[in-house]
Structure 1
Amino acid sequence: MKAFVIDKQSKLPLHFQIYEDIKGKIESKKLQAGDKIPSEKELQTLYDVSRITVRRAIHDLENEGFVKKSQGKGTIVCSTKQKYDLKRLSSFSEDVKEHGEISSSIIREFKIVKADHKTAYSLGILEGEEVYYLERSRLSGDTVVGLHKAFIKKTDEISLDRLEFDETTSLYERLKMKGIQLKYANEILEAQMPDKEIKKGLGMKDNIPIFFKERITYDTSGVPIEFVKMYYRSDVYQYKVTLDVNDGSKNL
């Protein structure tokens, strides 16, 4: 690993400069998941700093999930988390493509079910009416990152069949082909502890919290089309929100 020259005259702390250098190499994929970074002693020599400074930089990288210490292997680069913007409505396929990865799905279940109370309320239909149910594990590259359980309104315009879906099919693109133009969605995001079923769908072994989202998606006429429950692994997924100052606010 090639180190940049630490600026010891800078106001930035030395450990932060090292942190930023290694983080940059991970994000640019000069250091990839599974790569071993140099030992503390080697980093001390590379950056010409004290062992304490190196340890603090590694500690910060570990806290942020960029590296992890593995017994007998040293410090290993973790899979970098993919950031997703909460400001716009997009499909999973579009999100993954923006990060330069290939999206795919494992179709776990497709069937017609009777809407329970919550699904019916969300889709603006009567309880017991038939809806399509599509459950998929979602992959970015070779990694399972999400599990989607979608309930889609069943109408004359929206006629779906299991054979329409393979590992690369986008539901939103499929709806668009049927003349259904999606316009906006309402979402709720929270943290959850996954049960055994969800962990299996996410390919998880560790008992760690996950992101859970509920989304109701509407067409251009404001008619609800989809109610979906989405589960995402927090070790590979993170969300980004851009906040603007309200024009009417005088004080912050």
Structure 2
Amino acid sequence: MVRPKMTPKPQKIAPVLRLSPQPMYAQIKEELRRRILEGTYQPHQQLPSESELIEAFNVSRITVRQALGDLQSESLIFKIHGKGTFVSKPKAFQELGQLEGFGEAMGRHGHETYNRLISVRTQKATRQVAERLGLATGSAVTEIRRVRLLNREPISLDVSYFEKSIGEQLKRADLAQRDIFSILENQMALPLGQAELRIEAILADESLAELLKVEEGSPVLKMERLTFTQDGRPVDYEFLYYRGDAFQYRLRIDRQSQPQS
């Protein structure tokens, strides 16, 4: 279990401008969120006390508690009774409502991403890989293994399979800096259309734990994804293994209207 960091009290926060049309609690929340995301307050570092925030912002205790309550509901902070309020280790997230690459999704939220290329090799397709890509079993396919880094920390292992002709072109691309989706669409003129997804929870084995820098047996989100071009051709079959302590998927679903009984 990670122990909270009992760090020296940070410098006073600049007062929030009352000219803003936002309520004071919302301004305080946004200021604290900004400092958390920018790293002024590090994960597991203690935030200023309620009394210090009241003094810094010249507001009531109920206003400060409302701001902190909102941050806690967003999982940006956590409280320990008798000790204070601390910064949570943030979880990156990706929406499942649209098809996009990891770098695209993380870049939109201001995260730094990088790919560590583990291997690129040509091999014979297993029956599962061949079926998913619409090939004959034993056909030559390209396997690409990469560790995805988020803010310089490993967050996932991606194992991707392509028919050999596509794989040969990907070998020559910048697989460290670019999303494969971007390469397929912009460099190879293969516009993507949709994907089939399967998600399950697994435990990290020794090899996966080493690559993701977690303990063996730690929870991992495993995604199996088959991506198609706009004309329905299967083009990218992959297995994505995400650290359970640092990543989450989000999906909004609507209830369909039910017939009156």
Kindly indicate whether residue 211 of structure 2 is the aligned counterpart of residue 201 of structure 1: yes
Against the structure 1 CA distance between its residues 139 and 131, is the aligned structure 2 distance closer, same or farther, given a 3 Å change threshold? same
Q: How does 1:63-102 map to 2 (within 5 A)?
A: 64=75, 66-67=77-78, 76-102=86-112
Inter-partner Cα distance in structure 2 for 1:215 and 1:92:
13
Q: CA deviation at 1:25?
A: 5.9
Q: Corresponding residue for 2:114?
A: 104
Against the structure 1 CA distance between its residues 221 and 45, is the aligned structure 2 distance closer, same or farther, given a 3 Å change threshold? closer
Against the structure 1 CA distance between its residues 21 and 163, is the aligned structure 2 distance closer, same or farther, given a 3 Å change threshold? same
Kindly indicate whether residue 191 of structure 2 is the aligned counterpart of residue 173 of structure 1: no
Answer whether contact 1:26 1:66 (CA < 8 A) is retained: no
Over residues 164-192 of structure 1, what are the superposed CA-to-partner deviations in whole Å (9 max), with x where a residue is unaligned? 23420221222221121111100011111
Q: Corresponding residue for 1:13?
A: none
How many pairs align? 226
Q: Corresponding residue for 2:150?
A: 140
2:35 corresponds to which of 29, 49, 56: 29
Unaligned regions of 5+ residues in structure 1, if any? Answer: 5-17
Over residues 200-251 of structure 1, what are the superposed CA-to-partner deviations in whole Å (9 max), with x where a residue is unaligned? 22122374311110000001121111110001112221111111121x4247
Kindly indicate whether residue 214 of structure 2 is the aligned counterpart of residue 214 of structure 1: no
Inter-partner Cα distance in structure 2 for 1:117 and 1:82:
34
Question: What is the percent sequence identity of the aligned residues?
Answer: 21
Answer whether contact 2:142 2:167 (CA < 8 A) is retained: no
Paired amino acid for 1:224 = P
Answer whether contact 1:33 1:80 (CA < 8 A) is retained: no
Q: How does the TM-score come out when normalised to structure 2?
A: 0.72
Unaligned regions of 5+ residues in structure 2, if any? Answer: 1-11, 16-24, 55-59
RMSD: 3.5
Q: CA deviation at 1:43?
A: 4.1
Q: CA deviation at 1:158?
A: 5.7
Q: How does the TM-score come out when normalised to structure 1?
A: 0.74
Inter-partner Cα distance in structure 1 for 2:110 and 2:76:
21
What is the SS of the residue equivalent to 1:95? helix
Q: CA deviation at 1:137?
A: 0.4
Answer whether contact 2:219 2:245 (CA < 8 A) is retained: no
Paired amino acid for 2:118 = R
What is the SS of the residue equivalent to 2:169? coil
Of 209-218 and 230-239, deviating more is: 230-239
